[in-house]
Structure formats: structure tokens, C-alpha cells
Amino acid sequence: MENNKSSMGLKVALGIAVVLFLATGFYTMNLYSNSKKVEKDLTEQKELVMNDLNAMAKQYDEAIGENEVANNNLIEARARIQGLIDSLKISETNVKSLWRYKQKYMSLQKEMDVLLAQNDSLKLENSYLATSLDSTRVRLEERTIFTDSLLVQNNALAEVVSNASVLTAVDLKASGVIVRTSGKVIPTERASRSDKIRVCFIVAKNKLIQAGEQELYVQVIDSKNNTLGLNEQVSFGEKTLNYSLISKFNYENDNLNICEFITSNGDFATGRYIVNVFNEKDLVATSEFTLK
């Protein structure tokens, strides 16, 4: 009888132990399943926060790219978001950590709303300023064109005045002459009889020239291409002139008759002679004659 009671008790204890074991196993499996679900949910939430942060960073990139001049506030906010993204990537996936990142994201979202609103306002101001600058630029270009046109006209006028304000010689004539002891001058075509070459011309009236002492260069070249008279040189910039004499006179803004005499170191050669009159480097008159 006692053996039967003992056997029955053992069976009961064993049954309780099996029930407890099964219950413990079920609880453990249930707990493991719940843990995996929580972990999955947290991972998904983390990815959502990461996506939101990346979307926010993209908005900042677009706003920064639209400005020719960098907006330091946008750049600094973009850097803070990137720092948060980098930190989130390596953070533990738990409720406390995820909540902290969500809080930071919400704070950055509010900051972004303010900064982008300010940025839009700045873009409008810059657009207005650009339009104003374009209008000003157009006016300046129009004024520049007008000024350039006036400058061209003034330069052209100055050139005309400059060209017009030059002494000119007209009615240039030259010949060999015999000079008597009495001072009488007799023209001749004979080279052997010529004592000098006489060059006569009229300095034309010109009101644009200042009255007073003036001068012209006379050049006489014989048939052998020799420059008669002084045969000295004068330079005007890159141009060099060999002249026979310098004709100096008092100019009073009226026609003035001038006669100059050119001598030779030896006998005058037969042939064609060329006579030129220069106002500095500019040729103002030319003529020729022949000695036989």
C-alpha cells in the first residue's frame, strides 16, 4: 500500500515537472519571438529616421546649390545633420537611443523650416537686386555707347582740327638764278650760270594757327639725288628728314610770300631738281624744275 502511494506521488511530481518544463520552454520561445519582433521594429524605425535625415540633408544641398554666394547658416546646419547621420549609423538599436535621435531630428526639422524660409527671402531679395543691377548695367552700357560715340566724334573732330591747323605752302616755284653784285636776281635755266637756287611759295592763310614765329623745312634734291644747302637731318618720331634750310618767318594768320635761296658747295648739276616743303614730318608742297 505504501509502495503504491509512493509510486503515485512520484508520478505526480514528474507530471508537475514536465508541465513546468513545457511552460518554461513556451515562455522562453515567446519571449525570444517578442524580442526579435521588437528588434525588427526598432531597426525599421531607425531606417525611417535615417531616411528622414537624408531627405533633410538633400533639401539643404539643393538650397545651398541655388545660391552663388554660400549661406553659412545653411552650411553649418547641413554639417550638423551629417554628423547626426554618421552617429546614427553606428549607434545601438534600442528604444532609448532611437527616441533621442527622433528628438534631435524634430529639433533640426524646426531649424530647417526657419532657415529655408530665410533663404527663400534672401533669394527674392537677390533676384530683385539682380534685376536692378541688370537695369543699371543696361543704362551704363547705353551711356558707354553714347560716350564712345561722342569720343569717336570728338576724336574725328580733333583730327580734322589738327589737320586743318597745319601750315601749308601753295604756289611753290623754284629755279636757278644769277645774283648780281647789286642784289638783282635774274632767273636762268643754265646750270653753269646759276649762282643759287631760288625757292618761292606762299604760306596760306589759316585762322586756326596761332600767330607768331613759325617755320617750314625746305628740301632741294638735285639730279644726282644730293640734298643741297645745309643737308642736315632732323627727326620726328621714327621719321628722319634731310633738309636744305629752315625757313623761319613771323606768321600773322594771313597769306605770306616767302622766298629762300639755296647754295651749292660746287657747280650745279644739269638735270631735274625736286623741291619739297615740309611742316615738320608732313609734306605740304612739292615742285620740280630743270637746269640745262
Q: Report which of 60, 106, 66 is spatially closest to residue 79, judged by C-alpha positions.
A: 60
- pTM metric for this prediction: 0.47
Name 177's bridge partners. 187, 196
Query: Which of 27-36, 159-168, 267-276 shows the lowest per-residue confidence on average (mean pLDDT)?
Result: 27-36
Q: What is the mean pLDDT of residues 165-177?
A: 88
> Given this model, what pLDDT does residue 200 score?
95
Q: Could you tell me the domains of the chain?
A: 2-125 (no CATH), 169-291 (2.60.40)
Which residues partner with 179 through β-bridges?
Answer: 185
User: For 226-273, what is each residue's pLDDT tens digit?
Assistant: 999 999 999 998 899 999 999 999 998 889 999 999 998 888 999 999
